[in-house]
Amino acid sequence: MANEDRPQITLITPPAFDPEVFGDRIARVLDGAEIACLRLSLGTKDEDTLLRAADAAREVAHARDVAIVIDNHLLLVERLGLDGVHLTDGARTVRKARKDLGADAIVGAFCGTSRHEGMSAGEAGADYVALGPLGETTLGDGSRVEFDVFEWWSEVIEVPVIAEGALTAELVAKFGPVTDFFAVGEEIWGADDPLAALKALMAPLG
């Protein structure tokens, strides 16, 4: 696979982290690998925690010319100087997000395993559609996105697609030719060296 066809990487933060310590960990990964976008995916609804984490992550990302988006919190995008939003409810709020944030903001949508939902999100103005999980997971109902969905998408749909969820090196090798991005997060943050874990995961791409 030619290098220009190599899928790009979206880096997902852990659901909780200490901004002071984690800023350095993110920086190390961003410095050592080519990352297209950082996705702030926090499990908390506590505003102060969100603000501190977002500030730290934004400083690290923007210092390296990496775009940063946040899960669902439309109101925080402009307030925190972020580049856009990653919606986790499929196509439902894509139009509203686009209207509220304007044409230049990044608006992405996670559409689970649904090809139809992904198409709807693209038609509503999403910049990308994320589908997953690819691998075995105990979350949700255990369903996975089939290879042929990505194969079809890569041939028919122009909206970029992100593959995510329970990634392994084997899945990266398999789905590499039919996806535009891989989203990586929980697969690497538990490792002592997240950068080394990321490189091992993406090694099949060459």
> What is the per-residue pLDDT for 2?
37
User: What letter represents residue 151's amino acid?
Assistant: E
> What is the per-residue pLDDT for 195?
98
Asked if residue 19 has a cis previous peptide bond (ω within 30° of 0), the answer is: no
> What is the per-residue pLDDT for 1?
31
* Domains of the chain and CATH, by start: 3-201 (3.20.20.70)
Give the relative orientation of helices 19-32 and 194-202 as an angle to the nearest 10 degrees.
40
* Helix residue ranges, H only, the chain: 19-32, 47-62, 74-79, 94-101, 115-123, 147-156, 169-175, 186-189, 194-202
Q: What is the CA radius of gyration of the chain?
A: 16
Find tokens 């091992």 and name the residue. 200
The whole-angstrom separation of Cα 127 and Cα 46 is 28
| CA distances to 2, 80, 187 from 32, in Å | 21, 26, 17
pLDDT in tens, the chain (206 residues): 335 579 999 999 999 889 888 899 999 999 999 999 999 999 988 999 999 999 999 999 999 999 999 999 999 999 999 999 999 999 999 999 999 999 999 999 999 999 999 999 999 999 999 999 999 877 667 789 999 999 999 999 999 999 999 999 999 999 999 999 999 999 999 999 999 999 999 999 98
The whole-angstrom separation of Cα 71 and Cα 129 is 14
> What is the per-residue pLDDT for 140?
67
